[in-house]
Amino acid sequence: MGYHENKRVIDACLKCAALCNHCAASCLQESDTKMMVKCIQHDMECAALRYATAQLLSLESKHAAAIAKMCAALCEECATECGKHENEHCKECASACQECSIACMSI
């Protein structure tokens, strides 16, 4: 399956990656950045894997299904961590991660 068949998942991955980057950058602006370290780390890892997943899906990689499952698992971890914080950017990130996890599990 290529780009057109996986467009919904690719779009979810790209949206999630962008919101994870936004969350990480916003967490760095918080007054207590030490409290946000785990969130920032999850955000950065999540974004990196989202971009890789979108790219491999669009390339019709034979590894697409495996990477999508890994993507879903990391999305759940990131959503859980971001869900611990009351900041709007964390809530938005957690929601995007949950949506991305569901999309990735459909591969």
Helical H runs in the chain?
3-27, 37-58, 64-82, 88-105
As a whole-number percent, the residues of the chain with pLDDT over 70 amount to 100
Angstrom distances, CA of residue 17 to CA of 28, 47, 48:
17, 4, 7
Determine the pLDDT at residue 1. 72
Rounded Cα gap, residues 3 and 73, in angstroms: 22
Determine the pLDDT at residue 3. 87
Enumerate the domain spans of the chain: 3-105
pTM strictly above 0.75:
yes
Other Cβ atoms closer than 10 A to 11: 13
Q: What is the mean pLDDT of the chain?
A: 96
Determine the pLDDT at residue 80. 98
CATH classification code of 3-105: 1.20.1270.360
CB 94 within 8 A of CB 79: yes
Average pLDDT over residues 41-57: 97
Give 73's Cβ-side CA count (13 Å radius). 6
